[in-house]
Amino acid sequence: MNATLLRDIELIDSLESGLHQKDFLLTWEKQEGDLRTILHVASVLKQMRDQHISPRVFDSGLAVSNFRDKSTRTRFSFASASNMLGLAVQDLDEEKSQISHGETVRETAAMISFLTDFIGIRDDMYLGEGNKYMREIAASLDESFAEGILPVRPGVINLQCDMDHPTQSLADLMHLQKIYGSLEALRGKKFVMSWAYSPSYGKPLSVPQGIIALMTRFGMDVQLAYPEGYELIPDVLEKAELFAKQSGGSFRVSHDMQEAMQDAEIVYPKSWAPYHIMEKRTDLLKTGDKAGLDALEEECLAKNAQHVDWEYGVAHKAATLNGNARYMHCLPADISGISCPKGEVEADVFEASRLETYQEAGYKPYIIAAMMICNRFANPAALFKKLIERNRPRVSHV
């Protein structure tokens, strides 16, 4: 057995985790041991893939993906993770289902789950509703399983909601862990999560909230930067402050992008819509008020236009540590002169880090597969030892 692979498996065995048969809906609901376990399990899965060892633990079964908003990276990551473990993927198209005829959430949850092992959900459009919807699904699954209707209670995985994007933030953390060598090596590093200009509005709050609530768990000096009026959900800021105190890191807010970037080692310039705007937008979406939505968009775009200087560029990068901070983004970025006339990041600055952002995104399938493994198996380390002893090749050389 490869020494690094064996070491990582032993590390999993040494961690305390409460992930077995638990949904993964918010990172801040999980203990630090849970988060470390996900990262180590993901690392083992990646090493097995690199060494062409099959990690298939399911002989059949479904992983249902319910994307209520557009997606590229997360959609394909969920499908890749499911397939890697031996599950077939079925997309739930609400327009082609009885949901469009008024089927209730609890009925839908039961009907798609008869031989299903996992349900992945993206629901980030409505503030105050996305995570709530996931919990409605979970409650219905609990009921149907308890009554013997479902042979297995499917695990629910948050593929982005109105509050958090756990598969994204954990993939980002795994990327940093691999680059710097360990989670401990991240302690004391200055991480700037910054709002950035965008020619569009309505971008979810879940990425910046997920980042500040996760990176503060591991002793980093996290700075949140945004123009006045672009606040996040207050409760999440309180959690970030608490986690920073507990981990020995720090958390503070700045309203000056240039000042925030000073001596930063890692930067994450990403646009989002203000908390109060997302609340208003949700009310208008619920009532189908198109005229109201159009007026709100016009108002927000005009406000965004007042902050065009919040485009991450050469001058901002020069202020970072040694003028070369690591650039991160969940993608797709609004790239000035390429995807839009003016956006979140200057084209040359993005291009210098473009391939690394692809690498960053490439950890997501392993994070999702790790969530699945930890949900279904009480002892992932023992499982991996059996899979390695089985030594079934992923690629057959006939």
In the sheet that holds 250-254, the strands lie side by side as 250-254, 221-225, 190-194, 266-269, 326-327
Output the pLDDT for position 2. Answer: 78
Does residue 398 belong to any structural domain of this protein? no
* Token output for 177: 């862990």
Output the pLDDT for position 296. Answer: 94
> The CATH number of the domain where 175 resides is what?
3.40.50.1370
Contact in structure between 232 and 207 (CB atoms under 8 Å): no
Output the pLDDT for position 398. Answer: 52
Give the distance from CA 125 to its chain's centroid.
Answer: 15
Q: Are residues 160 and 138 in the same domain?
A: yes
Q: Are residues 370 and 228 in the same domain?
A: no
Output the pLDDT for position 310. Answer: 98
Percent of the chain with pLDDT over 70: 99
Percent of the chain with pLDDT over 90: 92
Encode pLDDT of 91-110 as tens digits: 998 877 887 777 899 999 99
Q: Are residues 151 and 227 in the same domain?
A: no
Does residue 395 belong to any structural domain of this protein? no
Name the stretches of the chain with pLDDT < 70. Answer: 1, 396-398
Output the pLDDT for position 162. Answer: 96
Encode pLDDT of 333-381 as tens digits: 999 999 999 999 999 999 999 999 999 999 999 999 999 999 999 999 9
Q: Are residues 339 and 368 in the same domain?
A: no
Encode pLDDT of 270-291 as tens digits: 999 999 999 999 999 889 999 9
* Per-residue three-class SS string for 201-224: CCCCCHHHHHHHHHHHHHCCEEEE
User: What is the DSSP secondary structure assignment for residue 336, as one 8-state letter?
Assistant: B
Q: Are residues 174 and 298 in the same domain?
A: yes
- Number of domains composing the chain: 2
Q: Is 127 helix (H, G, I), strand (E, B) or coil?
A: coil
pTM: 0.96
Range of the domain at 175: 166-361
**Strand pairing class (266-269; 250-254):** unpaired
Mean pLDDT across the chain: 95
